[in-house]
């Protein structure tokens, strides 16, 4: 959905980040949201979730070279602060279980302001690989701004 951005992820900017609606079936008995393969623009290789997060907790604080993620706030709310290494920053408040954030590669993210009981479900495009992480902000900025 972000067009060219996947072919050269180092050029991705915060403008490539999208809140995506998860189709839902509303019912007085309770709502049901469905993620099908077609709902997201990558093949899911891994699913994990954050829960029991202390409210003063700070998660993320890294970027990925290849990994794409689809973040769903299953319960409660939290903020995702994103940076693209070109000086642009954008904060997304995730607080609706049918509104997810698609994070393309090459974006720094920090997760903060977790509400009590918040649960963040992450659908991921690759298996866990520490080599895919950039955990130092200055290294990330260098990575994004190096000549291609
Ligand atoms: P990390 O991705 O840094 O967490 P967050 O971005 O939510 O703050 O991962 C925290 C730790 O968990 C780190 O030691 C790596 C490990 N980990 C796995 O072993 N497998 C996984 O799939 C994930 C996401 C993390």
Mean pLDDT, the chain, whole residue set: 94
The CATH number assigned to the domain with range 6-145 reads: 2.60.120.10
Separation between Cα atoms, residue 98 and residue 58, nearest integer Å = 23
- CA of 63 relative to ligand 1 center, distance in Å: 12
Residues 17-41 pLDDT 10s = 999 999 999 999 999 999 999 889 9
Please provide the DSSP assignment of 87-105 as one string: S-EEEEEE--TTEEEEE-S
- Which pTM was predicted? 0.93
How much of the chain, in percent, has pLDDT values that exceed 70? 93
The protein residue with its alpha carbon nearest to ligand 1, atom 22, reads 128
Extents of the domains making up the chain:
6-145
- Catalytic residue ranges: 62
- CA of 59 relative to ligand 1 center, distance in Å: 9
What is the atom index within ligand 1 of the atom nearest the CA of 128? 22
Residues 46-64 pLDDT 10s = 999 999 999 999 999 999 9
Is a pLDDT exceeding 90 seen at residue 77?
A: yes
Mean pLDDT across 88-106: 98
- CA of 27 relative to ligand 1 center, distance in Å: 35
Contact indicator for 23, 39 with CB cutoff of 8 Å: yes
């Amino acid at each position: 959905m972000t067009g060219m951005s996947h072919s050269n992820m180092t050029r991705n900017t915060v403008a490539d980040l999208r809140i995506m609606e998860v189709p839902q079936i509303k019912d007085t008995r309770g709502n049901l949201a469905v993620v099908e393969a077609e709902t997201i623009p990558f093949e899911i290789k891994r699913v994990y979730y954050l829960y029991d997060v202390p409210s003063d907790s700070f998660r993320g604080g890294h970027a990925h070279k290849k990994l794409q993620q689809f973040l769903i706030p299953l319960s409660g709310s939290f903020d995702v602060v994103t940076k693209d290494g070109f000086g642009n920053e954008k904060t997304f408040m995730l607080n609706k279980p049918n509104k997810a954030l698609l994070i393309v590669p090459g974006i720094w993210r920090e997760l903060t302001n977790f509400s009590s009981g918040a649960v963040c479900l992450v659908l991921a495009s690759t298996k866990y690989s520490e080599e895919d992480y950039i955990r130092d902000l200055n290294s990330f900025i260098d990575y994004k701004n190096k000549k291609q």
